Every structure is written in C-alpha cells, then in structure tokens.
A and B are shown apart, each in its own frame.
Chain A
Amino acid sequence: MLSLYRGYGRVAWVALGLAAFLLVFLALPILKVVFVAFQDPHSGALTLLNFADFFGAALFQASFLNSLYVSGMSVLLATLIAIPLAYYTTRFNFEGAVLIQTLGIIPLIMPPFVGAVAMVLLLGENGSVNLLLDEHFGFTIPFMRGLNGVILVESIHYFPFILINLSAALNNIDRAMEESAQNLGCHGSRLFRRVVFPLAMPGYVAGASLVFIKVFDDIGTPLLLNINNMLAPQAYLRISSIGIADPMGYVISVILVVFSIFSLWVSLLAMRGKDYATVQKGGGGLARRDMRPWEKVVCYAIIIVILLFVLSPHLGLTLLSFGTIWSFSVLPDAYTFDHYLTVFQSAFGYVTNTLLYAGIAAGADVVIGTAIAYIVLRTGLAGRKWLDYIAMGALAVPGVVLGIGYLRTFHDFQVPLVDKPLASWWVIIVVALTIRRLPYALRACMAALQQVSELLEEAAENLGATKARSVRRIVVPLMSGGILAGFITSFATASVELSATIMLVSNESDAPLAAGIYEFMQNAAGRGPGAALGMIAVLIVGLGTYLSHVVIERGKKSREATSIVGEETAT
C-alpha cells in the first residue's frame, strides 16, 4: 500500500474531489430521474404505473412513434446525401474533393435549431422556393410540412457524421483486398456488395447510430418548427408547463437514456470490428479512376443540389437577419441593420452570458480533463479508471435529461449567500455545460497526454523537479496544443447548447445565446433580431472550428519534428 500511494497524496485528494463532482452533478441527478420515473407521485412507492400511463396515452404513443420515425428518416436522408459524396471522393480522382470537404463542415457550424426558422422562410409552404414553383410551374413541394421539416433540418445538419465515418471506412479498405477480389472474378456492383459494402459497414453504422440519437434527443429543432408531439419536446413541455412533480417527463427521460445507451452500444460494437478493414496504413484506399465527361456532369449536378440545401439555413438566416419584412415573398421587402442594432442595444446580455458560461465551462472541462487524463494514465491510484468511465458516461445522457435531473435534484437546495435554489442559479447552467462537454474535452486531453512521453516527466524529476513542478512545467506545456483544441471545441459547442440550458434558465437576465435565439424566434416580430443573434452564434462556432483546426494542424507538424523523442525501446 505504501508504494501504491507514495507520492500520490495530493493527487489522491484531487481524484476524490473529481469523483465527488461527477457523482453529485452527473450520477446523482440521473439516478434521481430514473428513480422518480418508477415512483408513484402521490404515495412515493415504487411502481410501473407511470410507464403504463405513458404508453396508454395517445399523445405519448404518437410522440414515441414520431420520434422513431423522424430519427429513422433523418438517418436515411443523411445517408442518401452522404453516399454520393463519399463515393466521389474515395473512388475518383475528383478535383471537387475540396468542395465536398467544405460541404462536410458548413452544416456543423450552425446548430440545427438556429437555421430552422430561416429554412421555413426559404422552403416552407409559403417560402421562396414554393412561391417560385407555384408561380412558374403550378405545384409546390412540402419540404417543411409537419415532420418533414424536422427531418430535412436534422439530416442537413447531421449528414457530415455519416460522411466522415463512411469516407474514413472506405479510405481504410486496402487496395490489395479489392484487387484480390477482382482477381477472383468479382467486379462492379458485385464487388461493391461483397467487398466494399461489408468493409465499410462498421464505420457507417457508427456514424448512423450517432445521428439517430442526436436527432432523437434534439428538442430545439422540433420546438422551433412548432412540432410538439415528439418525445424530447414533450419532456420539456411537461416539466415546464405542468411542473417538476409530473412523472411523464421522467418516464420520457428514461426512454431517452435507454435509447442513448443502446445506440452508443451499437456504435461501439460496430467500431470494435473495424480493425480488420485497415490492413495496412498508407497503402490503403480504393483504386481511383478519372471521371468520364458525363459522369462529371452528373456528379457536379448532385453536389450542387446538395450544396444548395446545405447552404439554405445559412442563406436564409443571413437574409432574415438583414431583412425588414419577409413574409409571403421570395425575398425580404428591404434590407436593414436594425436587427443587429436591436441585438447590440438590448439583447447583448445573451452574448456576454454565453461567453461567460461557455468560457468557464470549457475552462473547467480542460482542467478536469487534464486532471483525469493524468490520474488515469500516469498514476497507479486504485479505481482511477472509474473517473474516466463516469465522465464518459455523460455521452449517454441527453441534455434534457440532465436539465430535468438538475431541476429535480437541486430545486430545494438553497445556495448560501445567494439565497436561491441551486437549480435556478446561473452557475447550474455552467455546471450542466461542463458536464455535457466533458467527454469531448477529456478525449482531447487524453490524446494530448499520450503524446507526451512519460520519460520527459521522469527526466525532470531526475533533474530535481518535484512531481507537481514537472507536471506544470513539462507535461502541461507539451499538452498545450491538445488542451487548447479541446478548450476551443468545448467553448464553441457549449455556446450553442440548448437542450440542457433551456430547462435551467430561470430568468431572462441569466439566459445564454441559444435560449435568447429560442425566445426571439417564438414570435414573428422577434425573428429578425433572433436571426442576428443566430449569426453571432454561427460566427462563434465557425471561428472556434477554424481555430481548433489550426491548432491541431500546427500540433501535428511540431509533433513530427519532435518525434525523435520517442518511447524508450525495449532493449
């Protein structure tokens, strides 16, 4: 025991503190939610009655089926968008590859709910496109009618997840494997069915299950499109309109968590077998060929159509933010800076709140992430892996569920001095953001720490530095690129998080950007300023995405240069 804990004295306290934080703000609220779902609201006894009530109510049955339908169709549509793009970049020598890569990034910098209203104005029943179609051809297309709108918005936003996974899987297929199949007389579509498809499947399944659950958990997009009869929106509406005693919100939460865990499990399962596809690094990739002229035409036509759809939220939002009145017309009547002025004069609090919340949350994430990474990878503390597991468990917790859990767990905990329940103090929003973004920051910190040879730390100690000093002066500076990338990503995504925060905003002056956009977009008069706020959000996320890309690329370069300080060889 002595040797196990020697030198870990302070580290052990830090580990205990982290464990306590994760238990109180992650495990406890979720357990509470699950418990309440199985509890009789009046007697407090354990019961399955809430679930019986849930599945007996027509509204919830419909919501459940709608959520399944929308998630499934979104995966399908996202797949249909991703397949040609992945196919063109991996099978052909195609000069438009950069265009496709850009296509894969543009959607990610706009949260789906931000662009939803703008999409209605462009593609809705009385939107620009249908007005033009009706005028010139006498028909309209119900892009945005009912659930279609949710499916379109979500699949345009999430198809990059499938595209990235699918392209990576296709690129990893060894050319030799394809050639040997051809050698054995396997060609064309048969080759695709027998060789390419099975090998690309794990990557695809991983991406698809991720998309499924993101859509299943999303509450902002349906709410902004006025679709209430889906599961996640119902959870929010029950709690916010009926109150935290109503058991239905908790039952829905349990269902959301079960589906989350299930799809995470599916994607883990799919990716576990992925190694067999990567026979050799570098030499991989399918044989590419040049496109024939007519193929090029088809290809560009497809890409341009997709590009137009992908850009439509951005285009619509831009028009909306600069337009005066835009209703029953192809384009806004006139253009103005007024919405931005309104935002800067009376709604800038949303922006500063967001910068504050996301800043603190991202900062906390990388500090916690670095600490957990260090404890897990570099110490022998007993049970250290559990810190990692619990932190990563946040992946399986939808934002609404975390929000509901916080409300229920902390509503009667009075914060000393502030004289408010913890559940309605702005700090709880920061805590929620921290927990939600922690898994991503943690992975970034783990990867960064793995790049720093343990020998460097030992060398510093050998030269007289204490453990703490060598961590501060050697390990952390060398991790800084990865930590910074983790910070920026956490910051950018936290600044547009809606699902957990919408439950926790208890007064207007504490609301962050996403909640502000949501508020504005509720009524027609607020759309202009809402869009202007949306543009600011896009700017923050876009800038963040770009910066983290730059940081990571720079890190890669300097790592190549210093790779000579490799791990000690076995001799």
Chain B
Amino acid sequence: MSNPSASVGVRLEGVTKSFGDTAVLKGIDLAMAPGTLTTLLGPSGCGKTTILRLVAGLEMPTTGRILIGDEDVSLLSASHRDVAMVFQSYALFPHMTVGENVSYGLKVQGVGKEERHARAEAAMASVGLAGYGGRYIDQLSGGQQQRIAVARALILEPKVMLFDEPLSNLDSKLRRQMREDIRRLQQDTGITSVYVTHDQEEALSVSDEVVVISEGAIAQKGTPKHLYRRPVSPFVATFMGDANITTGRVRDLDGVMVVEIDGLRVPIEDAEGLAGERQVALRPESLNLKDIGPGLRGTVRSHAYVGAATEYWVQWGDHELFAIMPASTREFPVGAQVYVDIDPVGVAVIG
C-alpha cells in the first residue's frame, strides 16, 4: 500500500462546466490536502458527480484548472490520470470474473500474470472478500459488489480515490459498516479521497472536511464540526441537520457572548465579530419543553412518538418550533402552555 507521506493534494481552480447552455458548475475553487478525505455534500442534481468526473478526466472543464499534486491535469485524458473512481452503480464488468475485474487495471498496465494474481488476492482480502476471485459479478450481493468496486480502484494505488455515493445502493445496516470500512481503508492507505454523498450523517462521520454544494457552487466548506456550529446560510444550516431558523441579537454581555432570542439569553462560543441582528439555527434536540420559565413561551400544537423520542410542534408567536425530547421525559398534551428552553450546544449563529 502506498505511503501516506507520498500523498498529494488535489486543487480545483475556478472550474466551471456547462453542458450546452446549462451551466452545471459555476466556479469551483477547492483545495484538498494530501491524505485527507473530503466529502462533497449537497442535494441531488447540484453537481457533485460532475465534479468527480472532472477530477477523473471523464469530462473536461469548460474553464478553470485541475491540479493533482503540482501537475496540471486539466487536459489529460482519463486513462492517463492516476485517479481511481468507485462508481455509484459500481460499473463492474459483467463479462469478467471478480478476479479479472479487480486486476483489470494491472493488466492494462502490463503487469505480469503472477503478480497480478497476488495483488488481486491482497486487494480482495483488504475488503474482506479473499477467495472470491473465480466468481462472476452476478453471483455477488450488492454489498460484495460494492467492495469489489473499491478493491478494483484500490489495487492501482492511485494518487486520488473518488467515491460517488458508494453506499446509496445498500441497506442502512450495511451502510454504517461499509462507511467505517472505507474510512479505515482511506486512513490506512493515506490516499487523498473525495467522497460524494447527499446524506449529512454519512458526511459528518467519515470526513476530514465537508464541502456543501448548492446549485453548482460551493455554499460552505470546513470541518464537520465547524459546519454544524457555524453555517453561513440557512441552506447549510438545514442541510447539516434539522434546524429551526429564527432571528436573535448577538451581544457582548460583560465579556460573555450571548444571543438573545425573544428575551431569552443563551451563551455562545466563538462569536467574535458577530454582534448584531442575526439568523439563528436551533437544533430540535436542544430544545427542552418545561412548565416554567425561562424559555420561549408557546403552545403545544401536536406531538408524535418516534420510538426513543417524542417530537413536538410548538406554536411560538408566528413561528412553529420543532423539538425532539427523550421519551423518558414527561409528556405535554396538545394545547398545553410551555416554556421552550434552549441548550447552548444546539445553537448555531448563521453568518
């Protein structure tokens, strides 16, 4: 496996892509540090796959440059880039065995039969499928096909690995396990990786850095924690998890930064330079319903049991607040007057 210290970064500089008259990417600037896993997160159709295809050389940018390490690869064809892609639908060759699929890239490079065989066995073992080489693709389950697609990409020890929603065709249990496996493989090999998903939970759990994309442009990038705590827009705030968007006033109260929402003061961290009227995202898990203040005064409109928690919709002025309370807490009937208290960890000032 390759040596993490040999990892190279990937840079996109002012990359745009149009198909005919449709501008799909509107100026992407991105730098991915060597050996990291960057997630592209965004709704369906925002251009995530297009970015991967540009890095792989399956599309050419309309304008802008793509660099791998220090090399400008913008005009290099797919077959000459040291980039391996795991396709969303796996794109395994149905007329070849699993072993032939995995070793295909080596065969193209002219690697001898014995070495091919040995390295294919190692690659299959690394994804937990040792000994499957003789089977055909249609004899594998979806999860196994997914692993073989990863092994086929990994065997070339590429400079860059691209994963296009690799888990989207798997059931939720398998998904959790596979994402751990991919993260582990990535960290073991130190291959700079770009991972596409539209599932924020997946993004937050595997990435060093998350890039939120909206309509062909970068909405925000940063560590998962940073995006969660400091979204720059309501779009990012809601994409990183459920959120109630409202307004509040950020101010310095004797050296402590607080946000004041309808008179309720909540202390916040890292809020230098944010003073003034701001949009605020309130995570539903951090809203607590109580009989007595302090809190935002409201009326329970409806509630629903969802196993371990109870979900409430509370009318507060002309807003409706969505709150999630542990099932172990006491219940509030519809129509009850409540105070909604806010846990500071679930408050994100937008901007």
A-side residues, CB < 8 A to B, are: 3, 6-7, 453, 455-456, 458-467, 469, 474, 477-478, 558, 561-562, 564-571
Contacts and interface: CB of A to CB of B under 8 A. Distances in A.
Contact of B88 (A3, A469, A474, A569): A569
Given A464-B109, A469-B108, A571-B44, A565 B92 contact: yes
A44 to B, nearest CB: 49
B137 interface: yes
23 contacts: A455-B91, A458-B58, A458-B91, A459-B85, A461-B58, A462-B56, A462-B79, A463-B104, A463-B105, A463-B152, A463-B153, A464-B80, A464-B105, A465-B79, A469-B108, A474-B93, A478-B94, A478-B95, A562-B137, A564-B138, A565-B94, A569-B88, A571-B198
A569 B89 contact: yes
A562 B79 contact: no
A285 to B, nearest CB: 30
B91 A459 contact: yes
Given A460-B93, A460-B104, A461-B57, 18 more contacts: A7-B77, A459-B93, A461-B79, A462-B56, A462-B84, A462-B85, A463-B156, A464-B79, A467-B79, A478-B95, A562-B138, A564-B137, A564-B145, A565-B92, A568-B87, A569-B89, A569-B168, A571-B44
Contacts of A571: 44, 88, 165, 168, 198
Nearest to B90: A565
B45 interface: yes
A84 to B, nearest CB: 43
Contacts of A460: 93, 104, 108
B108 A463 contact: yes
Nearest to A452: B94
B78 A462 contact: yes
A460 to B, nearest CB: 7
Contacts of A464: 79-80, 105, 108-109, 156
B83 interface: yes
A196 B55 CA distance: 56
B142 interface: yes
Nearest to B48: A571
Nearest to B139: A561
A34 to B, nearest CB: 38
B60 interface: yes
A462 B58 contact: yes
Interface residues of B, number: 37
Given A461-B77, A477-B95, A3 B44 contact: no
A474 B92 CA distance: 11
A565 B137 contact: yes
Nearest to A571: B44
A465 B108 contact: yes
A8 B224 CA distance: 43
Contacts of A477: 95
Contacts of A568: 49, 87-89
B95 A6 contact: no
A462 B165 CA distance: 17
A463 B84 contact: yes
Given A460-B104, A462-B56, A462-B58, A565 B78 contact: no
B88 A456 contact: no
A7 B108 CA distance: 19
Nearest to B196: A571
Contact of A564 (B142, B165, B168): B142
A162 B274 CA distance: 78
A6 B78 CA distance: 12
A461 B78 contact: yes
Nearest to B49: A568
A9 to B, nearest CB: 12
Interface in B68-101: 77-80, 83-85, 87-95
Nearest to A469: B108
A562 B139 CA distance: 10
Residue of B92, B94, B152, B168 most packed against chain A (CB within 10 A):
B94
Interface string B21-57: 0000000000000000000000011000100000011
A461 B137 CA distance: 19
B104 to A, nearest CB: 5
A461 to B, nearest CB: 4
Contacts of A3: 60
A183 to B, nearest CB: 42
Contacts of B44: 570-571
Contacts of A564: 137-138, 142, 145
Nearest to B43: A571
Interface in B168-190: 168
Nearest to B104: A463
A371 B251 CA distance: 70
Contacts of A561: 94, 138
Contacts of A456: 91, 93
B116 to A, nearest CB: 13
B89 A462 contact: no
Nearest to A570: B44
A453 B93 CA distance: 10
Contacts of A469: 108
Contacts of B84: 462-463
A551 to B, nearest CB: 15
Contacts of A458: 56, 58, 78, 87, 91
A471 B121 CA distance: 27
6 A-B pairs with least C-beta separation: A463-B105, A562-B94, A459-B91, A461-B78, A455-B91, A561-B138
A478 B95 CA distance: 7
A477 B96 CA distance: 10
B131 to A, nearest CB: 22
Contacts of A565: 89-92, 94, 137
Contacts of B49: 568
B299 to A, nearest CB: 39
A453 B91 contact: yes
Nearest to A478: B95
B124 to A, nearest CB: 16
A456 B84 CA distance: 14
A458 B56 CA distance: 10
Contact of A466 (B60, B79, B83): B79
Contacts of A562: 94, 137-138
A3 B57 CA distance: 12
Nearest to B45: A570
A305 B100 CA distance: 57
B292 to A, nearest CB: 47
A566 B145 CA distance: 13
Contact of A567 (B89, B94, B152, B156): B89
B89 A455 contact: yes
A455 B137 contact: no
A5 to B, nearest CB: 12
A7 B77 CA distance: 8
Interface in B141-157: 142, 145, 152-153, 156
Residue of A6, A460, A463 most packed against chain B (CB within 10 A):
A463
